[in-house]
Amino acid sequence: MNNNLSVEHLTGIKDLTRQDIELIFKTADNFKDVINRPIKKVPSLRDITIANLFFENSTRTRLSFELAEKRLSADVVNFSAASSSVKKGETLIDTVNNILSMKVDMVVMRHPNPGAAKFLSERIGAKVINAGDGTHEHPTQALLDAFSIREALGEVEGKKVVIVGDILHSRVALSNIYCLQKLGAEVMVCGPTTLIPKYIHELGVKVEHNLRKALEWCDVANMLRIQLERQDIKYFPSLREYSMQYGLTKEILDSLPKEIKVMHPGPINRGVEITSDVADSKQSIILQQVENGVAVRMAVIYLLAAKIERH
Ligand code: CP
């Protein structure tokens, strides 16, 4: 297997080859062993400085990247737009160039604008990792999701995965579709017509509006949050009605013909897209996803850092 990624930055799963994804998984397998040892650290990136730039809220992704960087022994600086000079009118490029002049080698960025990570990668010398760009892509989430399916079911190839909920506003859905298809899985999306984008058929996924039928088809259900913060109009009458049609309950789960795995990228709205007893059930791999996120992000950072010219 080639030990180099085919890309210089990770701005989206769309740009990756299947070989890239398999290399990230193989590398993450090694890092998963590392983070389960008493000493959870390797000295690999002692000469690298990484800036985490978050222009949107985050809990999991931000902490996971920071832990991954620290476990690789990189120096880490954190930037949050809410408490920065962005509030005084500074542009993205000016903000980033000021940070880079402090000798930063890699930038992890979450931004509300689709394409922001790609825009940045074309204008700066540092490596860029997209930690979520608006409604576009969230590549490391899709990688950790597929890695968790591989861990739970042995492989991704041939598995049937349904992504349920607000597909229209979801960067997780788009990155998952690209990633799962590249690895040979079959993908279905399920939700109300108003939350399924019109271009979805061009992506080669199945569409099902009936939750029970979707669940009867799949091996894995990835339940998404309704992104009310990105919805400028009403896409369904009420959360209560959405939950009655598309919420996954223990009663539905237990009545299915086979035992499926349940995933969620977080944050969960318990009682809306998923009930508490489902989120905490033995079929749920939600906390395994979070655990795997650190190993997968260590792998992505490590492989991109290998492409940085050291002087
Ligand atoms: N899954 C995810 O991106 O969660 P955060 O928004 O908390 O980072």
Per-residue pLDDT of the chain (311 residues), as tens digits, is: 678 999 999 999 999 999 999 999 999 999 999 999 999 999 999 999 999 999 999 999 999 999 999 999 999 999 888 777 777 888 888 888 888 888 899 999 999 999 999 999 999 999 999 999 999 999 999 999 999 999 999 999 999 999 999 999 999 999 999 999 999 999 999 999 999 999 999 999 999 999 999 999 999 999 998 876 766 767 787 889 999 999 999 999 999 999 999 999 999 999 999 999 999 999 999 999 999 999 999 999 999 999 998 76
Number of domains in the chain: 2
- Whole-number Å distance, alpha carbon 60 to ligand 1 midpoint, is 5
Does residue 5 form part of some domain? no
- Whole-number Å distance, alpha carbon 2 to ligand 1 midpoint, is 31
Does residue 46 form part of some domain? yes
Record the pTM.
Answer: 0.95
Residue length of the chain: 311
User: In the block, which residue shows the tokens 């040979």?
Assistant: 184
- Whole-number Å distance, alpha carbon 57 to ligand 1 midpoint, is 8
Ligand 1 pocket test: pick from 52, 53, 56, 58 the residue with the most ligand atoms within 8 Å of its Cβ: 58
Catalytic residues: 60-61, 88, 110, 138
Whole-angstrom distance, CA of residue 45 vs CA of residue 51: 14
Q: Are residues 50 and 178 in the same domain?
A: no
Q: Are residues 154 and 260 in the same domain?
A: yes
- Whole-number Å distance, alpha carbon 141 to ligand 1 midpoint, is 8
Q: Which residues line ligand 1 (CB under 6 A)?
A: 58-62, 132, 141, 265-267
User: In the block, which residue shows the tokens 């905490």?
Assistant: 280
Enclosing domain of residue 166: 139-285
Q: Are residues 221 and 167 in the same domain?
A: yes
Minimum CA distance residue for ligand 1 atom 4:
60
Give the per-residue pLDDT at 213.
98
Does residue 4 form part of some domain? no
Radius of gyration over every alpha carbon of the chain, rounded to an integer in angstroms: 19
Minimum CA distance residue for ligand 1 atom 6:
58
Q: Are residues 32 and 156 in the same domain?
A: no
Give the per-residue pLDDT at 231.
67
**Closest CA relative to residue 249, chosen from 217, 284, 219:** 284
Question: At residue 290, what are phi and psi to the nearest 5 degrees?
Answer: -65, -45
Q: Are residues 73 and 202 in the same domain?
A: no
Minimum CA distance residue for ligand 1 atom 3:
61
Give the per-residue pLDDT at 141.
98
The number of the ligand 1 atom at minimal distance from the alpha carbon of 131 is 3
Q: Are residues 254 and 296 in the same domain?
A: no
Put the strands of the sheet holding 220-223 in their side by side order: 206-208, 186-190, 160-164, 220-223, 261-263
Give the per-residue pLDDT at 230.
66
CA distances from 149 to 119, 127, 154, 257 (A): 31, 28, 8, 20
Give the per-residue pLDDT at 3.
87
**Angle separating helix axes 60-71 and 286-305, nearest 10 degrees:** 50
